[in-house]
Amino acid sequence: MNSIFERRDEEFNFKKRESLRFMVAAALGSGLLVAGMSPRALAQSGKYQWPKTFNVVTPVVGTANHSLAVAWSSKFQAATGVKVAVLPAPNGFARAAWLNSGEGRLAMVQASDYFDQMDAVQGYATKTAGPTDTRLIHMNMVTPWGYAVQGDSRIKSINDIGKGTRIALAKSSSFLVAGIEALLAYRNLSHNDVDLVSIGSYGANTAVLAEGRVEVTFTSPISGPSYKAEATPKGLRWLAVPQRQQDPAAYDRYRKFMAGYVPQETVAGVKSAIGVPMDHAFQANHVRANEDPEFVYQLIKWLDENHASYKGDFTHANMLSIANLVLFLDTGALQPLHEGSIRYLKEKGKWKDSYQKRQDQLVQLAQKYEKTYRDAMAAADKKGIAIEASNAQWASFWTEFRPANGISKPFAEEVLALN
């Protein structure tokens, strides 16, 4: 599986070289001096000089986050004259690599992606996609994720899933794999107990359910493929995520794979999902930690002040809001914010001392994991070990290097243990 993702480096080399031209323009634009004034001084005078262009990395076409990016960036381009390219990446591993390598200036990340990246699991175990100190800029959406079946399915609850059940397994992103692993763990089933049908893409992950090729899939009710499946003759039914009190041991096994989600009733998406308890992910755009603070501040300010201009252009664009960003912080931030975003929240009177305490802890964790991973890559290079996700020798080396260098727990456990 992982070798597919490794081949992305070669497949997108040309695109990355082309993107460098845009990134140079963006860098020059964000740091341009006009009449001897710094970007900060220009902003304070109401004359902030936007970069000429920048790229936003999203999931594939048809996903809610891709549609959202198209909605706001179109209005942003019309208002500012800045050229914004929306780049749909094939999977979460590529989104991380494109942000880290500079192909994108913003990239969509949800907590489960971030946790897996910081642990360098699966396709994140490469030179470009691995643990990196990136920072959250603004909240995109609070997205429900759950288990869907056909409307007339014999499966009424998670407890009806057993031996022989045909389940879609989309390997294009680690959190999709984790969703299935969590389901199996809850039911105490192994891969051999069920019929796992390998799926190549996120869109197909839902399409195969509507086609009857699988009985269960893990997907989001706000995505385009779910609306298409809902419109088929059999429609969809969603399985409620179980509560801990129903079976504490099973729930703990499930939650081990599903850290970083907030369980709550679904209020957005296809009609069949409304009111069903599901796990919800705070999905946000990230930038690199060293991104220009003025650019971040000006962008989140524009997105907030101009929300009315684009929130009607996509069904779920209303969720891109400061209110949801504050909800993320109140729930217990799972990723650190960029200093430009913090500056805007302070200006709005929304930043609290408790947020800053957690922010400092999250930054310290992220920097520790990034440094440890870089040290591991340097040590592996000296031993002639190829740093590739498909290389079992590298995977073994990283697994042994972590505890020997002060990392004894998964990143998610460390984050969830913060005060």
* Burial degree of 306 (CB within 10 A; 0-12, 13-18, 19+): middle
How far apart are alpha carbons 377 and 375 in whole angstroms?
Answer: 5
Determine the pLDDT at residue 8.
41
Determine the pLDDT at residue 13.
43
Determine the pLDDT at residue 172.
82
Determine the pLDDT at residue 337.
98
Determine the pLDDT at residue 297.
98
Determine the pLDDT at residue 32.
39
Determine the pLDDT at residue 382.
97
Determine the pLDDT at residue 47.
80
Closest to 224 (Cα-Cα) out of 344, 408, 332, 65: 65
Determine the pLDDT at residue 34.
40
Determine the pLDDT at residue 15.
42
Determine the pLDDT at residue 242.
85
Phi/psi of residue 263, nearest 5 degrees: -75, 130
Closest to 174 (Cα-Cα) out of 407, 336, 362, 1: 1
Determine the pLDDT at residue 28.
39
Cβ pair 270, 221 in contact under 8 A: yes
Phi/psi of residue 310, nearest 5 degrees: -125, -10
Parts of the chain with a pLDDT under 50: 1-45
